[in-house]
Structure 1
Amino acid sequence: MANIRDIARLAGVSVATVSRALAKPNIVRPATIEKVKSAIAALDYSPNVVASSLRRQRSDTIIVVVPNIHNPFYSGVVQGIENIAHDNGYRILLGETQDNQDRLDRYTAMIASRGADGLILLGSLLPSVVRDSLAEGRDSSIPLVLACERFDGLKSPTVEIDNVAASRLAIEHLLEQGHRRIATITGPARNNLTVDRLLGYRDALKAASIRFDRKLVVEGDFSIKSGYDAMTHLLTLDKRPTAVFCANDEMAIGVQKALWDADVAIPDEIAVVGFDNLRFAQYAVPSLTTIMQPTVEIGETAMKLMIGVLTAHIAAGERVVVPHQLVVRASTVGEAGSPSH
């Protein structure tokens, strides 16, 4: 395979001259540029990506940051991002914050040093430079796209589902099965997803003339264990719920394990609904009724928005809402498809 030394030898110039011709052609004489081009063509040489990116002052690298890599929800989103990135000549750098501000800020600093062109953010933590811009009433100081999350007042392109409508749909399904005492296990209280999904829960109860009962709302952290612990608490109530809506599938799996350990039948005694439609939801015992988020489509849309940001083809505050869907399984209607109540 030809390299830059071969190009220099054939063109009759130095290696340094070839490097300048690739990186800064404006400072190299046209006649020399032609010699280098002819040598490149003769040797069928492809200039490396670094030289090309230096010439254009871009890295063609997008940072994708997730809170944690063990949450299977993010894998579909990252797959979608990678699909579009690959087709458009971009590379993806995956970072994990573990909800640590310093980790996120270190990844973000790569944009200022031209190690990356932009940031696609999955999670509820904002880079410090973006928070500062938001506090001052300015747009994001870096190319930023939000996937799934939203931040009030921040004018960055966002792709998400309608979380209020989606959770309302889940509760309406439980109401149709005859449930009136419906509990919910939320994510962290300050998380915007939690706020929206709790609002949908309350809206559906209000529409059915059911009084909101704070005792039936338990805060989790989107982990399996928090779902297990929350359900264990709900089972101690004098009047147990007959159904539980969980703000994600991982917590719903924890709920199912707690009910199994307590010898409570699903859905005959307590029905369970999750959120996300992770791959393992259909293999849970019983299979889990849940809200489907199109994770791959979310990722693909996020990357398309990022390309639009980098090429100045979209507005700063563009918001794309992708469709959600209720997937009904045995955890609410039983194996035979009959209602639990």
Structure 2
Amino acid sequence: MANIKDIARVAGVSVATVSRALSTPSLVRPATIERIEAAIADLNYEPNHLAAGLRRQRSDNVIVAVPSIFNPFTSAFVEGIENVARANKMRVLLGITEGDIDTLNKYVSMIAGKQADGMILLEKTLPDIVRNPPTKSKMPPLVAACEYPPDITLPRVRTDDHEASALVVGHLAELGHTRIAAITGPLDQFMSKDRLSGYKLGLLRARIEVDEAIIATGDFSLQSGYDAMLRLLDADPQFTAVTCANDEMALGALSALQQRGISVPDEMSVTGFDDLRFGAFSSPPLTTVHIPTVEIGEAAMRLMLDSLLQPDQVSASREVILPHRLIVRQSTAAPKKRRKA
């Protein structure tokens, strides 16, 4: 396989000149660039990527910053980004931050170093450059997806989690439930706050008083859903339905209910959020809100491409909102009197 030394030999230049041409083409004479491009083509050394990169001064890499890869939502989101990136001969670099701001800032520095062209953020944490925008240079291409603070302006893709949560509470209220508990996500995340406020909106619309005693906080994991469900049952066993801020926590809640001998949906209705693939195969199959997770990733990548190809036409306030819908399965039903444990 050809390498950078082979390119230098065929082009009749030094290895340093080839390296400079690839990283900072503005510092290399146009005639030399042409010879290097011709050598890349002759050697078939990633011709579509490197030769085009020389002309456009782009790496054709996009970083996707995520806190973790263990959440199925994240996997589906990255799948959508990869779909569009591959079709446009772009490469996806996955940056796992674990919520660490220094790690996130290092990924941003890769854009300044021409190792990447932009970044898509699925993060509650934002890089320093967003909180303190540069005054003498342009903001690097950044796109936020799902997680973003309302006081920061970035191009973004999201669903209306507020209305989606109200919708699922409305479904439970229509079935006749008047004591509806909630298991939220971590409340330092904007998405979790939206889903909690939507839950309260749904109660308000159904003329049901909000009871903070039957609201428990989780962290979007199976274990946290299980633990939160047990806390709710120990604190107030009178509620007849629980809405969970994601499907993983709903599955954890189902496990806790099974352990306590509480039948779903006969004695307790349970809803999730996101409509991840496993929800249709839980026992019973999970009523949930469908969030087009793959499509969110695809839309975020298209917005990134627009930011790269037409930077003057993509406003920092540009927002893409994708539709949600309620998926009714067998985990919800009209309330019945619960057996005594």
Aligned-pair CA distance for 1:199: 1.4
Aligned equivalents of 1:200, 1:254: Cα separation in 2: 22
1:328 is aligned with what amino acid? V
TM-fit CA distance, 1:92: 0.3
- Closer, same or farther in 2 for the Cα pair 1:252/1:117, shift >3 Å? same
Equivalent residue letter for 2:89: G
Instruction: Say whether 1:208 aligns with 2:202.
Output: no
User: Does the Cα contact within 8 Å between 1:21 and 1:28 map onto a contact in 2?
Assistant: no
RMSD across aligned positions (CA): 3.1
TM-score, normalising length: structure 1: 0.86
Indicate conservation of the 8 Å contact 1:157/1:319, yes or no.
Answer: yes
Separation (CA, whole Å) in 2 of partners of 1:55 and 1:36: 11
> 275-284 or 192-201, which moves further after superposition?
192-201
Q: Quick check: 2:21–2:28 contact (8 Å CA) kept in 1?
A: no
Which amino acid counterpart does residue 167 of structure 1 have in structure 2?
Answer: S
Secondary structure (helix, strand or coil) at the match of 2:76 reads: helix
Partner of 1:251: 249
Q: Percent identity?
A: 48
2:103 maps to which residue?
A: 103
Shift of 1:268: 0.9
Q: Deviations over 1:64-116 (max 9, x none)?
A: 01111110111111111111111112110011111222222221221121111
Matched, 1:153 2:179: no
Q: 1:140 to 1:327 in 2, by over 3 A?
A: farther
Counterpart CA distance in 2 for 1:43 and 1:140 is 36
SS of alignment partner, residue 218 of structure 1: strand
Structure 2 segments unaligned to the other structure (5+ residues): 337-341
| CA-to-aligned-CA distance 1:131-175 (integer Å, 9 cap, x gap) | 2339x9x99832110111121121111111101110011001101
Moved more, 40-49 or 308-317: 40-49
Whether the 8 Å CA contact 1:194–1:247 is kept in 2: the answer is: yes
* Structure 2 counterpart of 1:282, from 265, 280, 283: 280
Q: Distance in 2 between matches of 1:35 and 1:150?
A: 45
The aligned residue for residue 89 of structure 2 is 89
CA distance in 2, matches of 1:16, 1:140: 31
Alignment CA distance shift 1:127-1:43 (3 Å): closer
2:185 and 2:219 in contact (8 A); partners too: yes
State how far apart, in whole Å, the 2-side matches of 1:222 and 1:21 are. 46
Query: Could you tell me which residue of structure 2 aligns to residue 336 of structure 1?
Result: none
Q: Distance in 2 between matches of 1:123 and 1:251?
A: 20
Provide the C-alpha distance between the structure 2 equivalents of 1:167 and 1:39, rounded to a whole number of angstroms.
Answer: 57
- CA displacement, residues 177-234 of structure 1 (integer Å, 9 cap, x when unaligned): 1100000011112321122111111111112221111101111111111111111011
In structure 1, what is the Cα distance between the partners aligned to 2:68 and 2:16?
46
Distance 1:158 1:304 in 2: 11
Give the alignment partner of residue 182 of structure 2, picking from 181, 184, 194: 184
Compare 267-276 and 80-89 and name the one that shifted more: 80-89
Structure 1 range deviating more: 45-54 or 179-188: 45-54
TM-score (norm. length: structure 2): 0.86
Aligned residue-pair number: 332
Relative distance call for 1:35 and 1:65 in structure 2 (3 A) is: closer
Please name the residue that 1:60 is paired with: 60
Answer yes or no: is the 8 Å Cα contact 1:22–1:47 preserved in 2. Answer: no
Letter in 2 for 1:67: P
Match of 1:77 in 2: 77
Whole-angstrom distance in 1 between the partners of 2:87 and 2:329: 36
C-alpha separation in 2, matches of 1:190 and 1:140: 29
Q: 1:72 to 1:15 in 2, by over 3 A?
A: same
Are 2:213 and 2:236, in contact at CA under 8 Å, matched by a contact in 1?
no
Q: Secondary structure at the match of 1:229?
A: helix
Can you give the 5+ residue segments of structure 1 that lack an aligned partner in the other structure?
334-338
Separation in structure 1 between the aligned mates of residue 187 and residue 304 of structure 2, nearest angstrom: 29
User: Would you say the 8 A contact 1:58–1:114 is kept in 2?
Assistant: yes
Q: Which whole-Å CA distance do the structure 2 matches of 1:184 and 1:129 have between them?
A: 36
